[in-house]
Amino acid sequence: MKKRVFSGPNPIWHQVLILFILSYLFSSGAHSAEKAVLIRENVAMFYPDNFDAKGNLPSFALVKEPKKIGPLPKSWKTRVEFSSTFGQPTARVQVKPSTNLYGTGEVYGTLTRKGYTRSLWNTDNYTYKKDNGQRLYQSHPWVLGVREDGTAFGVFADNTWKQTLALDTAITFTSEGPAFRVLVIEGKTPQEVMTSLAELTGHMALPPLWSLGFQQSRYSYYPESRAKELADTYREKKLPIDVIWFDIHYMDKYKVFTFDSELFPDPKRMNDYLHDHKMKGVWMIDPGVGWTEGYSVFDSGTEEDVWVKDAKGKTYEGEVWPGKVAFPDYTQPKTASWWADLYTDFMAMGIDGVWNDMNEPADFSRPDWTMPEDNVHAGGIKFEENGKALPADSHKRYHNVYGMLMVKASLDGIKNANPEKRPFILTRSNFLGGHRYAATWTGDNDSTWEHLRASIPMSLNLGLSGQPFNGPDIGGFEGNATPELFGHWMALGAFYPFARAHTTVKSDDQEPWEFGKSIEDVSRTALERRYRLMPYLYTQFQAASVNGMPVMQPTFFADPTDGNLRSEEQTFLFGPDLLIVPQWADKPTLPKGNWRTISLVGETADDEYQPQVKIRDGAIVPAGEVIQSTEDYSLEKLTLFVSLDEKGKASGKLYHDAGDGYGYQNGEFVFANFTAKKKGKTVTVKIADTEGNYPLGIKTVEVKLMTEDGVKTATGSAKKAIRIKL
């Protein structure tokens, strides 16, 4: 045995050498960006000097590969520094301490995101227990920053790989994939940044009107007689509703695109029953296909060779509700086409909408409940307008967009099956830009006050991440809501963009009447308020489809320069003109101005459950009559809530079309513009002008003028000015 030369501690030169090697291998020092170009007047693209195009492109979030329009101006405010952290590519944007940060997609926590570190790795996270809710069902590598003066910027890491996002004195993206590029948007206001984000990542499609109505779900309603009973009870009790949902128990042994012959022997009959009650049916489809020979979906998928492969090239075997499953590889063109075709017969059962769940993808056979990172996707599909086919690569690259690819294929199939109808899909898993294909919800929450309160900042940050159509499970999914909690959640839920009550199979029945007559009445009032505001709500969704603005907006959008509003997360804006203040809000910070409380269905400002609804001064908000279903939607009798500003003026807008179909794309729509002006002791309200060629259909207009002395009301014709004496 040889003697060791040094028997004691390493000499200092040895330690210095080790430190030098480690610092070289795990350097966190910034490298200068090789290229920073302008792709729009207010959007810059930053590239690291070792950018890996093959490893990151085509982009999933961008609808079109951007082109350079010029060099980056020297005056550009927000810069990106690229580096390597423990061998992993990192992008960092320094922020001032006074800057507030938002966005980051679907994350549990406060409205302001500074101080959080989240993992971008889509995860089935029941009641948000894993990683303190900092790793949920969706990934949005996006941050909205609002500076002290109200100007804003957005930062977007254009890669889909597993990564972390840390927010403190800097915005830091650290990826487990190759070096990536970063987009930076500058805006005079946060609203301007949101509009630019939508121009880059696409606009949501205008949804069918029925999808804005209230929706009742459970895991699960079965058999057929139970679902019919539910529909009957809603109509008998005159609780407005548009949709009943069907979870996995309708299936034959949980095999997708099948129906249990005993529980639902005639699914078309079930859907016809709902349609007769002026309701729609939304049915669940998961990605995991039961591994059963003789099952047509599995057999055809195997014949077409559409499955995700493991690292050895064999079809990966996972486990979900049916037991052993295979997962479709949606990166392949043949898989997307095969999957879309499966919807032809499915939608022929009279199904109105589809729920794509468990698509992170969830896999019960693995420790982290998803497939291995070294699984292989074959690629080949051309994604959106980029024109380049997705390359073959690992699941670590495509995991975060697996759900997005699934809903895109589902959307294609549903549109092919029902070309004359606007599709509706709800997805649990998604990625930045996925709003182009589906609405979303915040996953399996808890029936607790904590999750009720958290639903506001969660939904707001999803909206601030480019997903306008979202909301939580009203009442909470896990556990049993108390009557008080359910009443407050229904009252608040009337103002979520997506309004659906949902609960787990283990919970007590969680329909409004199950909590006693008083909570049933609370629920009825809440739902009547939502349906009364349907003209305004539909108008906001139309706006979102063209400008990307959230429907549910943070209160600071009322005045981005007011720093006191930046952390306000108990209240929110419902569109730009209405402020929602829950009764349980504790000393909320409200925006300046004369926000007047309005009563929609006779509720008072001190109602125990119903949030106060306040109208912005200078706004005119259109409202309709109380209806039980959007199938009864009509503008024949329109109410205008009018709140004059300090100059004695107000204005508002209403959008109207058929509520379904694509006629609006050919001019079959109408905009009505409302104006109000005070002159002396008289306020004159007019429908100033209209745009489009769809009939407005207004016969009677009721004006409710909000004044310091109360509400003054006048009724007249839509064709003539309506005057109110003060």
Cite the active site residues. Answer: 357, 360, 444
Packing angle, helices 534-547 and 517-532, rounded to 10: 60
Q: How far is C-alpha 24 from the geometric centre of its chain's CA atoms?
A: 42
**Identity of the residue numbered 210:** W
H/E element, 300 = helix 296-304
Rounded to 5°, the CA angle 582-583-586 comes to 85
Where does 545-681 show beta strands of DSSP type E? 552-554, 572-574, 578-581, 596-598, 612-615, 619-623, 637-643, 649-656, 670-679
Q: Which strands form 473-474's sheet, in the order they lie side by side?
A: 470-471, 439-441, 425-427, 353-356, 280-285, 243-246, 215-216, 500-501, 473-474
Where does 606-659 show beta strands of DSSP type E? 612-615, 619-623, 637-643, 649-656
Look up residue 3 and give its DSSP letter: P
Residue 692 CB neighbour total at 10 angstroms: 16
**Identity of the residue numbered 105:** G
Handedness of CA 492, 495, 496, 501 (dihedral sign): positive
140, 201 Cβ separation under 8 angstroms: no
357, 284 Cβ separation under 8 angstroms: yes
Where does 308-347 show beta strands of DSSP type E? 318-320, 323-326
- C-alpha 34/C-alpha 706 separation (Å) is 58
- Strand pairing category for 425-427 and 353-356: parallel
Q: Which of 198, 124, 553 is nearest to 365 (CA)?
A: 124
Six-digit token string for 404? 């997005």
Secondary structure percentages of the chain, helix, strand, coil, to 5: 25, 25, 45
Contacts 24+ apart (CB under 8 A), 515-519: 515/481, 515/483, 515/486, 515/487, 516/483, 518/483, 518/487, 519/483, 519/486, 519/487, 519/490
605, 612 Cβ separation under 8 angstroms: yes
* 3-class DSSP state of 408: helix
**Could you tell me which residues come within 8 angstroms of residue 381 by beta carbon, excluding any fewer than 6 positions away?**
330, 331, 332, 333, 336, 389, 390, 405
- C-alpha 475/C-alpha 487 separation (Å) is 8
Residue 699 CB neighbour total at 10 angstroms: 13
Residue 652 CB neighbour total at 10 angstroms: 23
Q: How far is C-alpha 209 from the geometric centre of its chain's CA atoms?
A: 17
Quickly tell me which residue has 């100033």 as its tokens: 688
